[in-house]
Amino acid sequence: MIITNDEKALRIKCEPVLPEEVNQLVSILESELDKSNKLGNYGIGLAASQIGIAKHIAIIRLGENLNINLANAKIEKGYDLKLFPDEGCLSFPGRLENTMRYQEIYVTNNLVYPHRFIANGLLAVVCQHELDHLNENLFFDRSVKKDDKIKHGKVNPNDPCICGKIDNLTGKIKKFKKCCGRK
């Protein structure tokens, strides 16, 4: 069952998934996503942490021809940071947030094919969203107000960094200027 409206339960530390666990976990995630869709709670991605499994695996289902499994995956690079309006999450039904997301990302996907791929547009946003779940971040951590924080599609230096890296001293997401903004 998908965990809803429980921020603490959704911010669990995920352990690497083992190769022999991948198929069973993908089946469980697909089953839960199908149940949610049949109940009218439509989703296109689901991370193991959303169903209380602390493993670094997620699925993305964007139509018949685009099924991606993310197992121990990480984003290597991101380009073209832009406002993504009305991002939602199955774990927070009815809640929509304007977020900053890369429009193109390079993903390393260690245990499943494809092992490396480039994602653009909606697929890039969904990959970022699901990988955030696996790294103890939630979509509203990347929430921005159009008027206050975005000027010409850019992040202000003191905004939380969109990569979601945690500052070891504070336990919070690093500031943009001290993380990706330095590059």
How confident is the model over 121-132, as pLDDT tens digits? 999 999 999 999
**Who contacts 18 (Cβ-Cβ below 8 Å, separation ≥6)?**
none
Domain ranges of the chain: 7-182
Cis peptide before 93 (omega within 30 of 0): no
pLDDT at position 105: 96
Q: Is the pLDDT of residue 7 over 50?
A: yes
Q: Residue 143 has what pLDDT? A: 87
User: What pLDDT is stored for residue 152 in this prediction?
Assistant: 44
Does residue 174 carry a pLDDT above 90? no
Least confident of 104-113, 152-161, 171-180: 152-161
Query: Quick one: tokens of 171?
Result: 């336990």
Contact 58, 122 (CB under 8 A): no
pLDDT over 60 (residue 69): yes
- Computed over every residue of the chain, the mean pLDDT equals 87
Tokens of 179: 């993380």
Q: Encode burial over 78-99: b for 16+ CB neighbours within 10 A, e otherwise.
A: beebebbeebbbbbbeeeebbb
Q: Report pLDDT for 150.
A: 42
**Residues belonging to the active site:** 130
Q: CA 50, CA 153: separation in Å to the nearest integer?
A: 30
pLDDT tens for 13-42 read 999 999 999 999 999 999 999 999 999 899
pLDDT of residue 60: 96
Q: How confident is the model at residue 71 (pLDDT cuts 50, 70, 90)?
A: very high
CATH number of 7-182: 3.90.45.10
Q: How many Å apart are CA 183 and CA 177, to the nearest integer?
A: 9
pLDDT tens digits for range 80-112:
888 888 999 999 999 999 998 999 999 999 888
Phi and psi of 71, rounded to 5°? -125, 115
Work out the burial of residue 115: count CB atoms within 10 Å of its CB; fewer than 13 is exposed, 13-18 middle, 19 or more buried: exposed
Among candidate residues 101, 20, 106, 8, the one with its CA nearest the CA of residue 55:
20
* Residue 162 pLDDT: 64
Q: Residue 127 to residues 4, 20, 68, 124: CA-CA distances in angstroms?
A: 20, 23, 9, 5
CB atoms within 10 A of CB 59: 24
Amino acid 116: pLDDT: 93
